[in-house]
């Protein structure tokens, strides 16, 4: 960490016709119009350019925050590391360095943008964009850089909006992470991990849904259609927390399920208001069963 602090990273620029601030404001306007909400200027998180190294440093700090939070919670319960769920024990064991190294390598090469909200530490959030990765992905996908960048920024701005509209989200993630560490029985662990995955799938699913539904006129209809075809590749940008805790599962399917769930809610009566209901309280979040069967959530809410 100290070495990273001493280095000055060169951040390449993207060929954009508008400033980052202007495009960010356009994204906020699209989200506000679609959801029917108004966010004050003070609530908006200003995006920042970041190098791959700076992104890795940010995720490492988030992993340390997670490690410290879990360790503190389990000390309060006088649990030993050996009694923790194997997925979480990785964070507190020698395997931690290997798993974290693999995570940071993945993040530095693949993640295009990141809304960084620490789970256990009350710190100011950041919205980071990695031009080197965005440019590389645009070339790989054979898409124009500027609309692709706007699509990515819209996605990350949705995440910022979620935490603004639902300030309880961070504490709810804390609760579900700790629930995994406090559970020994295999079936209970599976259920706890399912609850966390359902929450993260909704967070990602909302952003995926709005990348399509709220993109115009920020992007043209043809640009949205073309980019939508690349969704499988773009979805490599998975949430680092689930990738670390549950690296063996096919989270792409789970995130697709989150988007399908949000698509269903938006197409039902009340439309986008249903997406706001999801953020109204922890009790409004879907269970894993409701995530798979959206009609059950609509009947309950």
Residues 6+ apart with CB under 8 A from 86: none
Tell me: pLDDT of 31 over 70: yes
Report pLDDT for 171. 93
Asked if 147 and 155 touch (Cβ cutoff 8 Å), the reply is no
Tell me: pLDDT of 241 over 80: no
Report pLDDT for 267. 95
Asked if 227 and 218 touch (Cβ cutoff 8 Å), the reply is no
pLDDT digits over 87-122, tens only?
555 544 544 555 566 667 777 778 888 999 888 988
In the chain, where the domains are located: 16-300
Q: Measured at the alpha carbon of residue 174, what is the angle toward residues 108 and 97, in degrees to the nearest 5?
A: 40
Report pLDDT for 100. 64
Asked if 12 and 135 touch (Cβ cutoff 8 Å), the reply is yes
Cα(189)–Cα(86) distance, integer angstroms: 10
Ranges of beta strands (E only) in the chain are 47-49, 113-116, 126-129
Confidence of residue 4 (pLDDT cuts 50, 70, 90): very low
Cα(183)–Cα(91) distance, integer angstroms: 16
The CB-side HSE value for 234 (13 A sphere, CA atoms) comes to: 25
Confidence of residue 43 (pLDDT cuts 50, 70, 90): low
Residues 6+ apart with CB under 8 A from 46: 21, 24, 127
Asked if 227 and 280 touch (Cβ cutoff 8 Å), the reply is no
SS3 content of the chain, % helix, strand, coil (to 5): 70, 5, 30
**Is the peptide bond preceding residue 217 cis, with omega within 30 degrees of 0?**
yes
Report pLDDT for 87. 57
Confidence of residue 78 (pLDDT cuts 50, 70, 90): very low
Region 263-273: what's the mean pLDDT? 93
């Amino acid at each position: 960490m100290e070495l990273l602090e001493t280095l000055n990273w060169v951040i390449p620029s993207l060929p954009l016709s508008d400033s980052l601030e202007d495009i960010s404001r356009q994204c906020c306007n699209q989200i506000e119009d679609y959801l029917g909400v108004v966010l004050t200027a003070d609530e908006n998180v200003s995006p920042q350019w970041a190098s791959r190294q700076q992104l890795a440093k940010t995720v490492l700090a988030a992993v340390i925050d997670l490690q410290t939070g879990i360790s503190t919670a389990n000390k309060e319960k006088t649990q030993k590391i050996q009694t923790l769920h194997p997925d979480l024990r990785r964070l507190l064991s020698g395997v931690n360095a290997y798993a974290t190294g693999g995570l940071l390598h993945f993040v530095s090469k693949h993640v295009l943008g990141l809304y960084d909200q620490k789970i256990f530490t009350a710190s100011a959030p950041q919205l980071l964009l990695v031009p080197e990765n965005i440019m590389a992905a645009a070339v790989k996908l054979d898409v124009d850089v500027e609309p692709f960048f706007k699509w990515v920024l819209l996605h990350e701005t949705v995440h910022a909006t979620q935490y603004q509209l639902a300030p309880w989200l961070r504490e709810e993630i804390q609760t579900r992470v700790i629930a995994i560490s406090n559970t020994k029985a295999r079936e209970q662990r599976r259920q706890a991990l399912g609850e966390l995955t359902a929450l993260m799938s909704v967070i990602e699913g909302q952003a995926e849904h709005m990348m399509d539904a709220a993109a115009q006129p920020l992007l043209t209809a043809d640009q949205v259609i073309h980019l939508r075809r690349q969704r499988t590749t773009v979805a490599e940008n998975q949430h680092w927390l689930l990738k670390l805790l549950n690296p063996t599962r096919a989270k792409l399917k789970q995130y697709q399920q989150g988007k399908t769930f949000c698509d269903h809610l938006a197409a039902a009566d009340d439309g986008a208001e249903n997406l706001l209901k999801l953020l109204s309280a922890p009790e409004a979040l879907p269970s894993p069963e409701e995530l798979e069967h959206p009609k059950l959530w609509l009947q309950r809410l």
